[in-house]
Amino acid sequence: MAHRSPRLVAALEGVGVRRATTDQLILDGVDWSVRAGEHWALLGANGAGKTTLLRLLGAAMFPTTGTVEVLGNRLGRVDVRELRAHIGHVSTTQRVPQDATAHTVVLTGATGSVQPLWRKYDAAAREQAQELLAELDCKELADRPFGVCSGGQRARVLIARALMPAPSLLLLDEPFNALDLPSREDLIDALHRLAVTRPDLATVTVTHHLEELPPSTTHALLLREGRVQSGGPAAEVLSSERLTRCFGRAIEVTSQDGRWLARSGRAV
C-alpha cells in the first residue's frame, strides 16, 4: 500500500515581497511547504524576513511575486477574512483588554474580535474556552484579569484563544519574548503537549533562540536577507555549519534529549 503524504497546509512558490514605499526587497524567491502535523522553527537575524513570511502564512498580506496557498486557498483568489478564521495567530503584541478575565480573552478567539461579543457565545463556546485553558495548564486563571497574569501565563492564554476556532495552522510570533526561565519551560511543555494531543495541527514558530524550541519541533527554516538559506528536518538544518552560514557568525550547536543549545563565538 502506497504511503500518503500528510495534507498540505501551506505552499509558497517563487515568493517575493517588496516594500512599496522604498522598493526594498524583503523576501526573494522563497519556496516552502508546510504539511499537517509538522512543527516548524523559523529562524534568522533581525530583518531576515521572518515576520513578513509569517504574515503571508496568516493571510495578512499578499506577495509581490509568486504564489501563496494556505489551507488549499490561493491568496488573491479567496476572501482572506474567511481564511483567517481558520488560522491561529499568537503574538505578544496582540491587543487584548487588560481587565478582561482569561476566560473572556479565550472566548474572543471564537469571533476573532478584540472585545467580547457576548451574544455570539453559547454554552458550548464557554465550555470549550474552559477546556482550552485546562489543556494549556492554566484553568486556574479563568477568572483572573489578563493584565495581572504573568508573561508566561499570558502566552498560554493567547494560545488557548488562538485554538478556539480549531485551526489547522498555528502561527507563533516570538511567543517566548521576555519570559523568565520557569515561564519559558512551562510554555515549551504546553507546546509539546499540543503536538502530541493534536497530531494534525501544523505550527510555525518564530524565535531567536534554539533553547526555546520544544522537542516536538520537526522542521526548521533558516532565512538570511530574505532568502531561504536552508530548510528541512530539524535534525539536519539545526547544525553548527548551517547556523554559522545563516548568521555569519561562528555558532556551535549541541542537542540533548530533543532540545537544542546554540553558542556563538567570533564573527566570520
Phi, psi of 199, deg, nearest 5: -65, -20
Residue 227 burial by CB count (10 A; 0-12/13-18/19+): exposed, middle or buried? middle
Angle (CA) 44-172-67 rounded to 5° is 70
Residue 2 has pLDDT above 60, yes or no: no
C-alpha closest to that of 136 among 124, 148, 154: 154
**pLDDT tens digits for range 37-90:** 999 999 999 989 999 999 999 999 999 999 999 999 999 888 888 888 889 999
DSSP annotation string for 107-157: HGGGTT-SS--GGG--HHHHHHHHHHHHHTT-GGGTTSBGGGS-HHHHHHH
Q: Chain-wide mean pLDDT for the chain?
A: 91
**pLDDT tens digits for range 161-212:** 999 999 999 999 999 988 899 999 999 999 999 999 999 999 999 998 999 9
Q: What stretches of 146-233 adopt beta strand conformation (E)?
A: 169-173, 202-206, 219-224, 227-233
